[in-house]
Structure 1
Amino acid sequence: MARRRRVRRRRAVFTGAVIAVAAVAAFLHVSPPWQDTGATVAAGQDTVPASPEAGTVPEAPASPEAAVSPGPSKSPVSSPGAEESVDPDSVPESGPGTFTVARGGVSSEGGGSRYRVEVEDGSGVDPDSAAEDVAEILADPRGWSKDGTRTFRQVDDGSAGLVIRIGTPKTTDRLCGRYGLDTRGEVNCRGGKDVMVNLARWQLGSPTFDGPAAEYRALIINHEVGHWLGHGHETCPGPGRPAPAMMQQIKGLKGCTSNAWPYDADGRYLGGPSVP
């Protein structure tokens, strides 16, 4: 009998511990509801509502990557950092509209343009891994950091002047629509300080881009951050030449070759005629 009482006491203690751990986990991972009024991110906050901040004035006219749908891409494309391709059917069309802020790579020191990376909950993309990809793209000498003329620093609070969000197609449409942009479930956009990355494009690439999804991710970031920096759209400078990063390559290459970077390895700008 004494042995049975000891066993019951152990089970009671174990059950109480499990309940306590579950309660703490639920408290830490519950996302706040999406709000229409906009919100800023407080330091230490894990999830934020997906809406532009009130009173944001775009640095340049808000611009979607494309105004027409390129059609669905059903061929798996290699995902960076993974040996297996991504199944298009595994990419969700919609999500809860709440985002988790990336913590990996955050720095509290140094200068440069401050940016924040957020990933929609339930998207299947790890926020810290996405932030690592973004950091590598922004630091690449072929990108907007050419010759150290501009630097970027990742933060996780409201001090960010640039917010890069990866969201499901329907969430992307909803948030881009707040700037009057029609992304039609297919493309990305930039409005004010917000860059919205369509999850399907991030995971699968583009049917018109000759390269893996890893390279197309670089084009997404360079194109939309280029808009944030004040660059407008450009078009193909000539047959066989690299398409400008500021070209809407998802609409077609017009004789150019796929290219994800604003500059080449020698520091030459890979531009083209401006699009009115």
Structure 2
Amino acid sequence: MQPPRSRQGRRRRRPEPPRRPPAAPPPAVDSYEQGPYEQSPHEHNAPGPGRQRQSAPDPYGPGLYGPDPYGPDSYGGDSPRRHDPYQGSSGMGQDLDRAFVGASRSRTMFRIMVVIVVGVILLAGIAALGFLFFKPPGKGGAAVPRNDPGPKTSPKGQADSAPGTPPVVTPRRPVYIPARGTGRFYRPAAGAGRVYGRGKVMRYMVEVEGGIRQQPLVFAQTVDRILADPRGWTAGRKWGFKRVDSGPYDFVVRLASPGTVDKLCAAYGLETKGQVNCSGGKQVVVNLRRWLLLTTYYRGQPDDYHALVINHEVGHRLGFNHMTCPKKGRPAPVMQQQIFGLKGCRVNGWPYDRRGRFVTGPAVP
């Protein structure tokens, strides 16, 4: 009996793995050669019994490199469209389109706002000009332009002037004569009148200052009656007269307060001191004080004195200067300053007598 071996030095044999049966040979394929990119028959998709072999993938098709960014995938092909950051409802292109549309709308709204603002400014300017140059119609009158001092290039003018204050008639009833009116003038609501006389037609307007309690229509009718009288300036057959309320005119007859008369006449270098009338440029200015208080030489004859005032100042507008009494007992010329004295002549408020003869006298130097 041999003694047992020690376990040291013994080599332990590993069990051999079981042998696998040889794999079945692949089926024969006529004239088929495996391409360089064809999958091995041992892959999971290798053709087996009942399965057809798959064709090799196209190295330039979508199977290997994804959709062609320049092929039909990007422009309506059958393959799924790739994601384009400039397309779609939430792409960059839509954002830019919305930005452009918003900017266009903003510009349109800005232009509309500019048009509205400019329109409001223009309307405000027109309203301001209307307020400055026109006034609202007053009682018995229509709105007229603000004070027109007449042509400033015409320094020629005439005003009644003499030492002292012209005498006036003390009225039985107090009359309203303010020192200054509103400075705004009103024309009568009635329109233009007919032409009186022959010769050159002189177009005139009639205006009354506001705040002096005188009716424009009443004053205009008085002026019309005086200029149309056969003893007036039409008797010479050189001038005709027509009252107008718009358009060009040759002169304007204004009834104004003493303070306003001083202001209007001063524009022509004339000094009236609130006592007398004047004529300068296209303006025939009648002092309310003179119109209502008359003069002691015409006491009880207001119509004749009113004729003297209008004919005297319109005579200046026609080019006549002051005259004086030709002879004692004769009618005083209408161009004589009768409010300061008659110098032996009789009162007379007309440039012509009833026979159509011009009443004249020596010129005053």
Under TM normalisation by the shorter chain, which class is it? 0.7 to 0.9
User: Equivalent residue for 2:154?
Assistant: 57
- In the alignment of these two chains, the number of paired residues is 227
Q: 1:130 aligns with which of 196, 202, 219?
A: 219
SS in 1 for 2:145: strand
CA distance in 2 between counterparts of 1:32 and 1:179 reads 27
> Higher mean Cα deviation, 216-225 or 65-74?
65-74
CA shift, 1:156, in A, is: 1.0
User: Equivalent residue for 1:5?
Assistant: none
User: Equivalent residue for 1:102?
Assistant: 188
User: Equivalent residue for 2:161?
Assistant: 66
TM-score under structure 1 normalisation? 0.74
CA shift, 1:33, in A, is: 6.1
Aligned identity (percent) is 44
CA shift, 1:56, in A, is: 5.2
User: Equivalent residue for 1:24?
Assistant: none
Q: Any conservation in 1 of the 2:278–2:285 contact (CA below 8 Å)?
A: yes
Q: Any conservation in 1 of the 2:166–2:340 contact (CA below 8 Å)?
A: no
CA distance in 2 between counterparts of 1:242 and 1:157 reads 38
Q: Greater Rg, structure 1 or structure 2?
A: 2
SS in 2 for 1:48: coil
The 3 A distance-change label for structure 1 pair 32 and 143 is: farther
Q: 2:318 aligns with which of 229, 235, 239?
A: 229
* RCO comparison, higher one (Cα < 8 Å, 6+): 1
Q: Any conservation in 1 of the 2:151–2:281 contact (CA below 8 Å)?
A: no
SS in 1 for 2:296: coil
CA shift, 1:87, in A, is: 2.6
TM-score under structure 2 normalisation? 0.57
The 3 A distance-change label for structure 1 pair 102 and 32 is: farther
User: Equivalent residue for 2:33?
Assistant: none
Q: Any conservation in 2 of the 1:144–1:222 contact (CA below 8 Å)?
A: yes
Q: Which runs of 5+ in 2 are unaligned?
A: 1-129, 135-140
The 3 A distance-change label for structure 1 pair 32 and 166 is: farther
1:58-84 residue CA offsets vs partner (Å, 9 max, x unmatched):
6xx3000224443453512xxxxxxxx
User: Equivalent residue for 1:157?
Assistant: 246
CA distance in 1 between counterparts of 2:154 and 2:241 reads 21
Q: Which runs of 4+ in 1 moved over 6 A?
A: 108-111
User: Equivalent residue for 1:216?
Assistant: 305
- Equivalent residue letter for 1:113: M
Q: Any conservation in 1 of the 2:159–2:279 contact (CA below 8 Å)?
A: yes
